[in-house]
A and B are shown apart, each in its own frame.
Chain A
Amino acid sequence: MDIRKTKEGAALTLELEGRLDTTTAPELEAELSGSLDGVTELTLDMEKLAYLSSAGLRVILGAQKRMNKQGKMTVRHVNETIMEVFEVTGFVDILNIE
């Protein structure tokens, strides 16, 4: 998986590309835990994300919980497959999806 990071002031955008599963989720988790300090606006761009497993959902949930405390989080460009995952797991109710 590739993670492209863009930071503008307190706004951080992560573009995710490839598969977010058991093997790659720790990468995103490490990335998030290291770069969320002082961020009030987190955007996850999923335009090029092909697959999302429950391990990936866990990392997204962790990020959402953290951002609930320090700002807000937006998920953007969610494709059909991943939207289905969000719907099935009820994540649509807690995520701010654009």
Chain B
Amino acid sequence: MKKTHWNLRLQPKLLLGLVIMAAVLVTALTPAIAQLYRGHMEGYYSDLAFDQASIAARLIDGDSIEHYYRTLEKDEYYEEVRQYLQTVREEMGLEYFYVVVPEDEVMVYIWDAGVAGVDGVCDLGDADAYYGGGNELMHAAFAPDAPETILVTNNEEYGYLASAYVAILDSTGTPAALASVDISMDMINQQIRQFVYLTILIACGVLLVSVVVYYFYVRRILIRPLGTLHQATQELVQHEMDRLEDFQLDIRTGDEVEELAHAFQYMTVELAEYIRNLAAVTAEKERIGAELEVATQIQASMLPCIFPAFPERREFDIYASMTPAKEVGGDFYDFFLVDDNHLAMVIADVSGKGVPAALFMVIAKTLLKNSAQTGSSPKEVLERVNNQLCENNDAEMFVTAWLGILDLTTGSLLAANAGHEYPALRRAGGEFELIKDKHGFVLAGMEGSRYQQYELKLEPGDTLFVYTDGVAEATDAHEELYGTDRMLKALNRRVDAAPEVLLPWIKEDIDAFVGEAPQFDDITMLGLRFIGPVGEEEGKT
């Protein structure tokens, strides 16, 4: 079916091209050749006419004409000349052969070859009008030493004629009459017509043979291979995608079509290779995706995420959240009780993103927790963990971290900052403000970094808010940063809210600011409200 389809489309185009070519050749060549032939034949017949007229003009005695013209009496010589003209006319196949005296309006016949009265042959003294421009030409020829005068006429009345006029001179050299010869050239038209018919016939014959030869030739070298190729492509797509390596194409035409087949063959081989690779890569990608999914879950489960975290402790209220930008992030928070009276809080941000950041985060978080649980001060913890992280840190990653340890009995908060954002603190009854604490260098940046520790005295009702740069550097579609000013404003709009209300509100405010712009960085926050030592609370009530 497909093959027929091909034939219908390509074959007629090629055949039409052949027909057009033949038609162009015939129409271009035939008129040119016909014209050449016509010119040649006209010249030949004109010369013949002129020669016969010249011979007659020399033979006929010019002096006798004056006599016949005037008296209209025929004599023996008159009859002799008529016989001569008659013989020449018949022998040479001339149309008309006659001698006339040209007057102003008419010409007067002296001789006209043929038997007078038969077939419209004119007799001595008959007058006739000039025809087809004959007037000027005949008068021009009617002179001694007149130029060679030939007239070619082609009209319906007289047919296609070549006429020649030569003056007959009398003994004084004066023109007495004109010897006139008309030769019919109707056969030229006839011959040209035959020539054209013949040309067209031959062209059609050649065309027919070419078409047949061409049809089979093109079919063999083009249509059939193309059809095979076409079918192969179809089959390839429909059935053989799974076994591309076995694909074979048998086309041997030794030209571009075979090259195309080779290219196609090559393409299928490459395609097979490509599909294999793609399948492998896709499988790998799916596997990695699945593993990343698991990694995200593990990472999320590493952060304390059950709230209230310490339902039995009434001295404080804590809440934290992390929204990763990619599958796995580099931000983390942590909080745990070092002992009954000390709560440790960590918020940190690993440089970079994705799996490397997440792995580094796990190490940093573990080290910080282990170190803090020994009861060391924040300064000691950061210095120790920094040195531990600096060992074998070939990837040159680093972590910014804020670590605070709160004495729940006194409200004394000891904290140290390793290159992390400023904490925000709200004193009971007041507003949130940034604490411009002393910053040490980031963790894992330089071995032996020193950190400064500071103390804040928390009063009952004070709220502490720490966060990562994902908050301050959330960016909207116009590349404008959310910034700490907006953050403080938002915090102060819910100034009395508990951490578990405050944090979702900040996230909401950030989302409203960012709008449709994508989230670049993890957004992590930790909020703590100090309620006060349990004993003191009980004493009041």
Contacts and interface: CB of A to CB of B under 8 A. Distances in A.
Interface of A: 21-22, 53-55, 57-58, 61-62, 65, 87-91, 93-94
Contacts of A94: 441, 445-446
Contacts of A65: 396, 446
B379 interface: no
Contact of A57 (B398, B422, B446, B520): B398
Task: Identify the interface centre among B418, B442, B473: most chain A CB within 10 Å of its CB.
Answer: B442
- Chain A at the B interface: mostly helix, strand, loop or mixed? helix
A87 B449 CA distance: 15
B335 to A, nearest CB: 22
Given A58-B397, A91-B441, A94-B446, A53 B419 contact: no
Contacts of A93: 440-441
B422 A89 contact: no
Given A22-B520, A62-B396, A94-B441, A88 B422 contact: yes
Contacts of A21: 520
Given A61-B398, A88-B422, A55 B351 contact: yes
7 contacts: A55-B352, A57-B351, A58-B398, A62-B396, A88-B400, A90-B445, A94-B445
A89 B473 contact: no
A54 B520 CA distance: 12
B365 interface: no
Contacts of B520: 21-22, 53
B349 interface: yes
A61 B419 contact: no
Given A93-B441, A94-B446, A88 B420 contact: yes
Contacts of A87: 439
A89 B400 CA distance: 7
Contact of A89 (B352, B397, B439, B446): B439
B421 interface: yes
A93 B449 CA distance: 10
B426 interface: no
Contacts of A53: 469, 473, 520-521
Q: Which 4 interchain pairs have the tightest Cβ spacing?
A: A89-B419, A90-B441, A54-B351, A90-B419
Contacts of B353: 22, 55
A62 B422 CA distance: 25
A89 B439 CA distance: 7
B468 to A, nearest CB: 9
Contact of B439 (A54, A55, A62, A90): A90
A90 B418 contact: yes
Contacts of B469: 53-54
Contacts of A90: 418-419, 439-442, 445, 449
B419 A91 contact: yes
A57 to B, nearest CB: 6
Interface in B415-457: 418-422, 439-442, 445-446, 449
Given A54-B349, A91-B442, A94-B446, 7 more contacts: A53-B473, A61-B442, A88-B420, A89-B442, A90-B419, A90-B449, A91-B419
B26 to A, nearest CB: 70
Contacts of B521: 53
Interface in B321-376: 349-353
Question: Which of A53, A54, A61, A88 is most buried by chain B, counting CB atoms within 10 A of its CB?
Answer: A54
A64 B449 CA distance: 15
Nearest to B418: A90
Nearest to B439: A90
Given A53-B521, A94-B441, A88 B419 contact: yes
A58 B351 contact: yes
A53 B325 CA distance: 14
A94 B353 CA distance: 24
A55 B395 CA distance: 12
Contacts of A58: 351-352, 396-398
Contacts of B398: 54, 57-58, 61
A21 to B, nearest CB: 7
A77 B33 CA distance: 91
A54 B352 contact: yes
Nearest to B395: A58
A50 to B, nearest CB: 8
Given A22-B520, A53-B473, A55-B352, A89 B441 contact: yes
Nearest to A54: B351
